[in-house]
């Protein structure tokens, strides 16, 4: 491998060749780094210096964590797992509301691509906090990351809120996305149509609960948060409570809970999040497109004429109904979801 690596206090400085080698997945350093902060010695990768940490467990499991202009993401390469079955089509994955790129870490290992990029949406995970959740602004963030990663065409995969962002971005930029996969969400105005979604997947109800807990009760740690959450929503599944806790961090020194999710902005922007601002008369996406629909969810399958709502925007789309899955399809049916993605990128 060309390039050099040297230790500078607690930092590692890596030159351009090594960075792009890691990004492309062609080779990887035979060391194990965990929790290190690295800087790339390359002008122009980002407006500021690009900082990333990465972990290499073995040749079959390598991942980079990076940030560009406030958007955090991971890159992994599965070519050493799937060999000749691996597609040279980047896959970009967007998580749901209150989630993060970490949600797809195990799922991503099932995708037959040499570049899988999982992003933290704004106001989630390790990405920047902003004052709005407008799809147009998130679209620009995604395009900026893809431009700086030199990704000119890719498959876009979105779950729930990430699915709405994906649909919006693909409809506005069809030439940038060769394939599209949407998991259990529709291009639909849930808020304006007063669609009631059952907990725990009602963003409207959940955002109010989380807002009240943070602002009015100010839990000092995760245990206090879980106590307040159970008081407010006694029937909430433990699995969903733990899912929310993935975006919280105990800060024992300050006796304070750190929130990676910006509950204030999500609460204030609920109308933007749950509606869909585009119209099918103006926007169509004609490339290969798959919708994964959970039969036990009320975010797509139970919406009247959901199939026609999809076809209005995505005439060439195919829908796959998962009989035994709830909304979190990539958790309830990971192998089926991965198979749909792998089949779609083969079209």
* CATH code of the domain covering residue 46: 3.40.50.1820
**Has residue 211 been placed in a domain?**
yes
Structural domain including 103 reads 5-191+283-344
Confidence of residue 251 (pLDDT cuts 50, 70, 90): confident
Report the distance separating Cα 180 and Cα 75, nearest Å: 19
Average pLDDT, whole number, for the chain?
85
Please check whether residues 37 and 10 belong to one and the same domain: yes
Same domain, 242 and 94: no
- Phi first, then psi, for residue 186 (nearest 5°) are -120, 160
Same domain, 260 and 325: no
Verify cis geometry, omega within 30 degrees of 0, for the bond prior to 344: no
13 and 99 together in one domain: yes
Alpha helix ranges (H) inside the chain: 16-24, 79-82, 135-148, 161-172, 203-212, 222-232, 238-245, 263-268, 270-274, 306-313, 329-332, 334-344
Q: Say whether both 146 and 30 belong to one domain.
A: yes
Short-list 336, 337, 280, 334, CA closest to 310 = 280
Q: Are 329 and 340 in contact (CB under 8 A)?
A: no
Query: What is the structure's pLDDT at 61?
Result: 64
Same domain, 65 and 153: yes
Quick one: what percent of the chain has pLDDT higher than 70?
A: 82
User: CA-CA distances (angstroms) from residue 108 to 88, 124, 163, 207, 327?
Assistant: 15, 19, 16, 28, 18
Token couple for 220: 């000092």
Distance CA 65, CA 75 (A): 7
Structural domain ending residue among the three candidates 218, 245, 272: 272
What whole-number distance in Å separates Cα of residue 309 and Cα of residue 18?
46
Q: Report pLDDT for 252.
A: 78
On whether both 292 and 177 belong to a single domain, the answer is: yes
Same-domain pairing of 77 and 211? no
Query: In which band, very low, low, confident or very high, does the pLDDT at 254 lie, cut at 50, 70 and 90?
Result: confident
Is residue 13 domain-shared with residue 41, that is, in the same domain? yes
Higher pLDDT, 290 or 196: 290
182 with 232, same domain: the answer is no
Max Cα separation, the chain?
60
d(CA 173, CA 273): 20
The domain boundary residue, chosen from 250, 272, 294 = 272
What pLDDT is attached to residue 196? 87
Give the mean model confidence (pLDDT) for residues 66-81: 95
Alpha-carbon torsion, ordered 327, 61, 138, 166, to 10 deg: -50
Q: How confident is the model at residue 60 (pLDDT cuts 50, 70, 90)?
A: low
DSSP-based three-state secondary structure for 325: coil
The residue out of 240, 272, 304 marking a domain boundary is: 272
Q: Could you tell me the two tokens for 80? A: 């050493």
Whether residues 84 and 20 share a domain: the answer is yes
Q: β-pairing, 11-14 with 5-8? A: antiparallel
Number of structural domains found in the chain: 2
Band (pLDDT 50/70/90 cuts) for residue 2 is very low
Cα(287)–Cα(153) distance, integer angstroms: 12
Do 65 and 116 reside in the same domain of the chain?
yes
What is the mean pLDDT of the segment spanning 208-226? 96
Please report whether residue 330 resides in a domain: yes
Distance CA 146, CA 135 (A): 16
């Amino acid at each position: 491998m060309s390039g050099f690596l040297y230790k500078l206090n607690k930092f590692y400085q890596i030159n351009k060749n090594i960075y792009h080698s890691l990004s492309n997945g062609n080779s990887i350093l035979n060391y194990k780094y965990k929790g290190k902060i690295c800087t790339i010695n390359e002008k122009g990768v980002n407006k500021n210096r690009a900082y990333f940490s990465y972990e290499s467990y073995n040749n079959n499991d390598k991942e980079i964590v990076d940030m560009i202009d406030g958007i955090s993401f991971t890159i992994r390469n599965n070519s050493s797992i799937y060999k000749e079955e691996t597609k040279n089509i980047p896959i970009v994955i967007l998580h749901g509301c209150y989630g993060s790129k970490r949600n797809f870490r195990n799922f991503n290992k099932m995708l037959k691509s040499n570049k899988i990029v999982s992003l933290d949406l704004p106001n989630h995970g390790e990405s920047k906090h902003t004052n709005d959740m407008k799809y147009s602004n998130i679209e620009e963030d995604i395009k900026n990351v893809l431009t700086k990663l030199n990704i000119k065409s890719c498959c876009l995969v979105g779950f729930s809120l990430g699915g709405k962002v994906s649909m919006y971005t693909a409809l506005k930029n069809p030439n940038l996305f060769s394939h599209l996969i949407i998991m259990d969400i529709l291009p639909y105005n849930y808020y304006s149509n007063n669609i009631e979604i059952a907990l725990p997947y009602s963003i409207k109800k959940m955002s109010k609960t989380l807002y009240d807990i943070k602002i009015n009760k100010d839990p000092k740690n995760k245990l206090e948060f879980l106590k307040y959450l159970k008081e407010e929503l006694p029937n909430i599944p433990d699995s969903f409570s733990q899912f929310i806790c993935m975006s919280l961090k105990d800060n024992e020194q300050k006796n304070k809970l750190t929130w990676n999710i910006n509950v204030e902005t999500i609460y204030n922007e609920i109308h933007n999040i749950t509606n869909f601002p585009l119209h099918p008369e103006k926007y169509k996406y004609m490339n290969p497109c798959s919708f994964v629909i959970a039969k036990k969810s009320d975010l797509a399958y139970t919406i009247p004429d959901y199939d026609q709502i999809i076809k209005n925007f995505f005439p060439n789309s195919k829908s796959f109904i998962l009989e035994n899955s709830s909304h979190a399809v990539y958790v309830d049916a990971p192998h089926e979801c991965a198979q749909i993605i792998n089949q779609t990128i083969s079209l």
